[in-house]
Amino acid sequence: MNISNCLNRAELDTLDKKPIYLQIASLIAVKIQKQILPPGTKLPPERELAGLFAVSRTTAINAYRKLEQQGLVWTKVGSGTYVAQAPDVESPPGVPWPQLFTAYPQNRLASILRDMVSTPAPGTISLAAGMPDPALYPLETFTGLFNRNIGRTAPADFGHIPIEGYSPLRRAVAAMLNEKGIPASPENILILSGSQQGLYLVSKVLLEPGDYVVMETPTFIGAIQVFQDAGARVLSLPCPEKLSLGLLEDFLIRHRPKLLYIIPTYQNPTGRVLPEQDRRDLIELAKRHRLVIVEDDPYSDLFYGQQPPRALKALDSYEGVVYLGTFSKILFPGLRIGYLAGPPVLINRLALEKQFIDLHSNNMAQWLLAMFLNEGYLAPHLAKVRGEYKKRRDRMAKALQRWCANDIEFAVPEGGFYFWCKSKQAVTSRQLLQEAANNRISFVPGDAFHTVPTLDKEFRLCFAAHDEAVLLDSVQRLAKTLAQITKKNKENGSPPYSVRPII
Ligand X SMILES: Cc1ncc(COP(=O)(O)O)c(C=O)c1O
CB of 273 to ligand X, least distance (A): 14
Contact 214, 260 (CB under 8 A): yes
> What distance in Å separates the CA atoms of residue 126 and residue 254, rounded to the nearest whole number?
42
> What distance in Å separates the CA atoms of residue 318 and residue 313, rounded to the nearest whole number?
10
Residue 165's identity, in one-letter code, is G
Q: Which is nearer to ligand X, 31 or 393 (CB)?
A: 393
CB of 128 to ligand X, least distance (A): 11
Q: What one-character-per-residue DSSP string does 182-221 give?
A: ----GGGEEEESSHHHHHHHHHHHH--TT-EEEEEES--H
Residue nearest to ligand X (CB): 194
Q: Which of 440, 392, 382 is nearest to 413 (CA)?
A: 392
Q: Which is nearer to ligand X, 221 or 396 (CB)?
A: 221
Q: Which is nearer to ligand X, 130 or 138 (CB)?
A: 130
Q: Which is nearer to ligand X, 91 or 119 (CB)?
A: 119
The footprint of ligand X (CB under 6 A) covers 130, 194-196, 220, 222, 263, 268, 296, 298, 326, 328, 333, 338
CB of 466 to ligand X, least distance (A): 17
Q: Which is nearer to ligand X, 218 or 298 (CB)?
A: 298
CB of 129 to ligand X, least distance (A): 8
Residue 259's identity, in one-letter code, is L
How far does the chain reach from its first CA to its final CA, in angstroms? 28
CB of 493 to ligand X, least distance (A): 42
For residue 326, is it left (φ>0), alpha (ψ between -120 and 50) or beta?
beta
Burial level of 339, CB count in 10 A (0-12/13-18/19+)? Answer: buried
CB of 261 to ligand X, least distance (A): 9
Q: Which is nearer to ligand X, 188 or 268 (CB)?
A: 268
Q: Which of 494, 408, 411, 420 is nearest to 462 (CA)?
A: 420
CB atoms within 10 A of CB 433: 18
CB of 340 to ligand X, least distance (A): 11
Q: Which is nearer to ligand X, 333 or 446 (CB)?
A: 333
CB of 202 to ligand X, least distance (A): 12
Q: Which is nearer to ligand X, 41 or 195 (CB)?
A: 195
> What distance in Å separates the CA atoms of residue 123 and residue 24, rounded to the nearest whole number?
42
